[in-house]
Amino acid sequence: MYDLVALGEVLIDFTYCGQSEHDNALFEQNPGGAPANVVAMAAGLGLNTAFIGKVGADMHGDFLRQTLQARGVDVKGLVSATNAFTTMAFVKLEGAERHFSFARKPGADMTLSEAEIDFDIIRAAKIFHFGSLSLTDEPSRSSTIKAVKAAKGEGAVISYDPNYRPGLWKSAAEAKLRMRDAAQFADIIKISEEEAELLTDKRDPKAATQALLEKGATCVIATLGADGALAATKEGSVKKTPPNCVPVDTTGAGDVFLGSFLYRLSKSGKSLDKHSLQEIEDYVAFANAAASLCVEKRGAMPSMPDISAIYERLGG
């Protein structure tokens, strides 16, 4: 059995890192992709994990495969495309905030077909995680939904991150439709403040989490940047502020948060619906600490903290 299986995009984040001697922008090759970041973080903390996705048969795809393996992620479900290049995202930083420009027309991750998915891996998942970027285009859209349904049918906890990137959708209306449709399968949903409105038409994070609970989710978490996170269950909601930090790059912070949260959930050995709000609050505090460490360095996977650093940041 796998503690956690994630499906979706793994890509290259070319992150701005200064100017050359000729005053040209320099970009650093960093591994990224939200579902891959989540599973890599959880693997680094000790979970038995696997990743399902598609990269190009190119130097970047090889780099990503090796990086996930080095983090301890099983990559036998990661296939290679001969007709599409590994997806790339160029990340410009303004302060610690990010602006993305994608090279994905198409990217290998968009071409993942149902026939290329190893459903034995999915059937062995205790927690199955997916995002929304694999829903932007076919065939990856239908393949993702098939995989989610298969995991749910086997009794896995379904984790969903509607990670909105406007430039990758044909329109905001289509993004809203597809992202909302996928939410119906989820037990755990992590949303940002922007995604709260997309999924629920409510700008207030507390109102948005409540709306998603009413639609069937068991636990909804709204990440609030420097203000931490708001978690909601049927018992109520709780907001946790993060430890103090000095942000350098927020890339991957939400993924590190979610990977850490899923780690604590998995290690508890309890089903999601048996958790008290106080236990969820404890997991959120742990995840906040992990994310606060991540943002102090550049890149997502290179900045992922180990468990000792997280507990040190928590003060114990």
- Residue 296, class by beta-carbon neighbours within 10 Å (0-12 exposed, 13-18 middle, 19+ buried)? middle
Q: From 217, 154, 206, select the one nearest 182 (Cα to Cα).
A: 217
Active-site hit among 44, 107, 252, 259: 252
- Let me know if 253 is a catalytic residue: yes
- Let me know if 254 is a catalytic residue: yes
- Let me know if 255 is a catalytic residue: yes
Active-site hit among 254, 287, 299, 300: 254
Active-site hit among 253, 290, 291, 300: 253
Active-site hit among 232, 255, 287, 299: 255
CB 182 within 8 A of CB 148: yes
Give the active site residues: 252-255
